[in-house]
Amino acid sequence: METVKRGYMPKDTVEFGPKATSKLNAAAQELAFLLDRGYDTKSASTFVGNHHLLSERQRLALARITSPRAALAERAALTPRETDVLGCLAQGRNTQYMAEHLCISENTVKSHVRNVYQKLGVHSKQDIIDIINADGE
């Protein structure tokens, strides 16, 4: 039986290895520059990723490491309610809990979740948790 490392992808050594480090560092500096000037995370990471020919995984990692926690909601232009939903998502809460806690319908929660994912350029609740955890370190 083959041993599989959890979270490890065969392309990790290529996408995040020593040869990719200088390219990722340059991209991180450019992304931070754009984010400091008010560009949203998704547009800026897409632009920088295209410029440096980064993979989708590299772009997501880049967005994660350059997102200061205090400015995440502001940079992503989240509404106050989307910011509330982001907080619940970061805690791993489900749709039903958020609906009850925020006193809104589950369909409204789903709309806010979809907007948060789109504005942050993520695809799952785990991606949001990873961003928040990376910001706290």
User: What are the tokens at 15?
Assistant: 């996408």
88 and 41 fall within a common domain: no
Residue corresponding to tokens 């990692």: 61
SS3 content of the chain, % helix, strand, coil (to 5): 70, 0, 30
* One pLDDT digit (tens) per residue for the chain, 137 residues: 566 555 556 677 788 888 888 899 899 889 888 877 878 777 888 899 999 999 888 888 887 677 655 467 877 888 989 988 988 888 889 999 999 999 999 999 999 999 999 998 899 988 888 777 665 44
Residue 2 lies in a domain: no
Find the CATH number of the domain harbouring 90.
1.10.10.10
77 and 130 fall within a common domain: yes
Residue corresponding to tokens 């020593």: 18
For residue 53, how many other CB atoms are within 10 A of its CB? 9
For residue 52, the SS3 value is coil
Residue 85 lies in a domain: yes
On whether the CB atoms of residues 137 and 95 are closer than 8 A, the answer is: no
